[in-house]
Amino acid sequence: MAGLEQAEVAKLCGLSRNTISAWENGRNEPSASGLIRIARITGQSLDWFAEGVNDVAPAEAGATNWEVRHEGFEPPTF
């Protein structure tokens, strides 16, 4: 959604591209510090990552608080 490639995200986060790929493909889950890094570079809130909630609804729908689940960024389950 931020228009970044895995390699760019990895570089900005100080992590390997393989780590970002594993998160995106659900093989591993990011740590709290990893989520904070991703949130900062993508401009998304930690709530969005934790809950999969996007407060910006499509204008044509005229609604708010849409729940968006993007593949590879499912909320962690505990």
**Domain with 49 in it:** 6-67
> Distance between CA atoms of 19 and 33, rounded to whole angstroms?
13
- What pLDDT was estimated at residue 44? 84
- Do residues 1 and 39 make contact, with C-beta atoms less than 8 angstroms apart? no
Identify whether 1 is part of a domain: no
Number of domains in the chain: 1
Identify whether 17 is part of a domain: yes
CATH of the domain at 38: 1.10.260.40
Identify whether 26 is part of a domain: yes
- pLDDT bin (cut points 50, 70, 90) of residue 77 is low
> Tens digit of pLDDT for each residue in 10-57?
999 899 999 999 988 889 988 888 888 888 888 888 888 777 655 554
Closest by CA position to 30, among listed 50, 6, 7: 50
Identify whether 44 is part of a domain: yes
Q: Which residue has the tokens 């594993």?
A: 22
- What pLDDT was estimated at residue 54? 56
Identify whether 77 is part of a domain: no
Q: What pTM was computed for the model? A: 0.59
Identify whether 13 is part of a domain: yes
